[in-house]
Amino acid sequence: MSESVAIPLQHRPEPVRPKPLLSNGVLGMMIFIFTEVMIFAGFISAHAVVRSQAAGQMWPPFGQPRLPVQETALNTAALLVSGLVLVVAWFAFRKERSRARIPLLLSILLGAFFVYFQGLEWVALLGEGLTIQSSSYGGFFYLIVGAHAIHAVAALLALIWAGVRLNEGRLTRSELATVSAFWYFVVLVWPVLYIKVYL
Amino acid sequence: MMRASIVMLLLLAFPDAGHACAVCFDSSDENRLAFMATTAFLTLLPLGMVTGAGLWLRKRVRQVKLEENDPDLLDN
């Protein structure tokens, strides 16, 4: 009769866990971004079809106010610079965490400028009579730009949260990557929306 | 019965143009083009994203394996 040798629990080797390919936060954010990309793709497609059906190919429709193309171009530039500054913040964070403070703050300020300016633009357009019910032109404008604005505000709040944690010295690399991915989505989807809706 | 079902499925895979369909027939070329372009866009976009994610994951797997073999390559 053979005797089995029991290894005490405390001497058993720890199972080797493979290094994760990406953090849970980044993975979750990527899945979220995929779904959001499809939402915006649906909006853009519906907009393209309705625009192609416009009477006499006239877009914007007769009697509807024109969108502020040049002013929004400036705002678009601010948003793109915000994304670039966040890239700088990421590399600074990898070298020395405290170095990321200024670029992260700058990115937040540029993002806040974008959101504030968009709000001013909405107030002006509402004053000129462009509402969500005034025409399909107005409806699509508020739907698409409004959906982006909701994302911009949420991503901005996430950036502020990251900034607070960075100040407290508690921000992890994974958290910054997750929040940055959200902001990059907001930044990169905007030029597409600008070209389709404003031009 | 099985053969008939397969033939029926194959026939259904090649539909004729629908005369009441706004995509197949429309007085406006722009409208038809918009329908076709957005159909292609919405079909290819998710496929492109999934392919992109797959390629990125493959690259990441290689990178992680390289880092495990040579810890000096680990970026901090």
Smallest CA-to-CA distance from A143 within A104, A197, A97, A65 is with A197
Residue A42 lies in a domain: no
Number of separate domains in chain A: 1
Q: What is the pLDDT of residues A125-171, one digit of tens each?
A: 999 999 999 889 999 999 999 999 999 999 999 999 999 999 999 99
Residue A12's pLDDT band (cuts 50, 70, 90): confident
Cα→Cα distances A10→A6, A7, A185, Å: 12, 8, 47
* Cross-chain Cβ contact A49/B35 below 8 Å: yes
Residue B25 lies in a domain: yes
The reported pLDDT for the residue numbered A7 is 65
Residue A91's closest chain B neighbor by CA? B76
Residue B1 lies in a domain: no
Residue A169 lies in a domain: yes
Residue B27 lies in a domain: yes
Residue A103 lies in a domain: yes
* Cross-chain Cβ contact A53/B31 below 8 Å: yes
Residue B8 lies in a domain: no
Report the gap between the CA of B23 and the closest CA in chain A (Å): 11
Residue A132 lies in a domain: yes
Q: Which range marks the domain in which residue A178 is found? A: 69-199
Calpha distance A155→A107 (Å, rounded): 11
The reported pLDDT for the residue numbered B76 is 43
Buried b (16+ CB within 10 A) or exposed e, B51-72: eeeeeeeeeeeeebeeeeeeee
Q: What is the pLDDT of residues B10-47, one digit of tens each?
A: 877 776 766 667 666 666 788 888 888 999 999 999 99
B64 or A56: whose pLDDT is higher? B64
Number of separate domains in chain B: 1
Find chain A residues with C-beta within 8 A of B76's C-beta. 94
Residue B62 lies in a domain: yes
Residue B5 lies in a domain: no
Smallest CA-to-CA distance from A130 within A142, A116, A148 is with A142
Q: Which range marks the domain in which residue B28 is found? A: 20-73
Residue A54's closest chain B neighbor by CA? B31
**CATH number of the domain enclosing A144:** 1.20.120.80
Calpha distance A96→A114 (Å, rounded): 28
Smallest CA-to-CA distance from B23 within A52, A164, A25 is with A52
Q: How many CB atoms lie within 10 A of CB A71?
A: 13
Q: Prior bond to A60 cis, omega within 30?
A: yes
The two tokens of residue A65 are: 């106010």
Residue B9 lies in a domain: no
The two tokens of residue A7 are: 């290894």
Half-sphere exposure of B26 (CA within 13 A, CB side): 16
A188 or B9: whose pLDDT is higher? A188
Please say whether the beta carbons of A143 and A132 come within 8 A: yes
Residue B65 lies in a domain: yes
Mean pLDDT, rounded, of chain A: 91
- Considering only CB atoms, A21 lies closest to which of B34, B41, B57, namely B57
